[in-house]
Amino acid sequence: MRSRGAILHDVGGPWSVEEFELDPPRAGEVLVEVAAAGLCHSDDHILKGDMSAPNEVLQSLGLPTMFPMVGGHEGSGVVREIGPGVTEFAVGDHVVMTFVAVCGQCRWCATGMEYLCDKGIGTMVPGMPTDGTFRHHTTAGKPLGHLAKVGAFAEHTVVSVNSLIKLEPQLPLVPSALLSCAIPTGYGSAANRAGVRGGDVVVVIGAGGIGTGAIQGARINGAAHIVAVDPVEFKQKSALRFGATHSVASIPEALDLVRDLTYGVMADSVVVSPSLITADDVRDAVALTRKGGTCVLTGMTSQLQQSVNINLQDFILMNKTLAGTIFGSCNAKADIARLARLYRTGQLQLDEMITRRYRLDDINDAYADLLNGEIVRGVIDYGLS
């Protein structure tokens, strides 16, 4: 069949909305009609080369290229066709897609860490996770990758059943798209990796989609004070609507505020989620963290940023923890359903996070809005629901 999608042909972009060919699903795969796709900074990091390399560089090294590629890794939709042997899903099921296609069998899946799945961690490698071949093709017949084995910046996509989570049919599809990435990553950074508990003081650096998810995770898990740090005034105000008790524009302001709130003890947890983590962000976040506290890095950094400077003596003697996380250390098959229940019961705000809805053809304008700090979360709304 033929569909339309936003395709990235190489580092530097822009996104090109064009038609492509889509093969039927094979064994262990399904065809999904996409309802909504979230605009995440990760896709822009690939466009800018923070998480990718140009075709010319990879080819010179004898490595496979990522491009051309259908973008989008955060999405929801409806199952339209199932491949041979698929029993977990049926035509008409509402689903969200996850960028970690978990196998359920490796050491990490077997010990409750699906987010580190040996097979799922190859999310940036082109081809289907089922057999390594391609279902997406250019109109000229060339292989076309789909980001994170999802490709949500398209009207239709073929994905592995391991990339899908079934939704209750009464949940609206457009806000549910955020359950695919932004919410698990942000919420889980606070609730799972940082282990926020009742009465905690939490700092969230960066109040975009991931940061707002972290703010909500801290609120729902009982934090007493939640300090949002963002240079954009709109996001400072937005953070207060989602549960932040305080918001400031800079790290120096946050240091003074947290010192006052805690009588010098500092924050129990710090979640670092700006659009791009820098070495200074890490240094400052560790300084904001109390003795025995936890600093979680959940945003992305450039692949060229390989070192940071922190006060090692303070870090060691004060028994601090600096932790990374992917997908908020969430297990998609269990945690997305739990987050959906929090949404259904009114504790988790998803609709309110969607600042603007866009058409697929407007994707470059949508990313301009994101980079200008004008939205918390934007979505491509395909008009399915």
May I ask the CATH architecture of the domain 2-180+349-381? Alpha-Beta Complex (3.90)
Provide DSSP, 133-157: --SEE-TTS-B-EEGGGT--SBSEE
CATH class of 185-326: alpha beta
| Residue with tokens 């262990």, as numbered in its chain | 28
pTM: 0.95
Residue that has been written with the tokens 């806000």 in this structure: 175
Walk along the chain (385 residues) and give the pLDDT tens digit of each residue.
Answer: 999 999 999 999 999 999 999 999 999 999 999 999 999 999 999 999 888 888 788 788 787 788 999 999 999 999 999 999 999 999 999 999 999 889 999 999 999 999 999 988 777 888 999 999 999 999 999 999 999 999 999 999 999 999 999 999 999 999 999 999 999 999 999 999 999 999 999 999 999 999 999 999 999 999 999 999 999 999 999 999 999 999 999 999 999 999 999 999 999 999 999 999 999 999 999 999 999 999 999 988 887 777 888 999 999 999 999 999 999 999 999 999 999 999 999 999 999 999 999 999 999 999 999 999 999 999 999 998 6
Contact 100, 319 (CB under 8 A): no
Task: List the chain domain ranges.
Answer: 2-180+349-381, 185-326
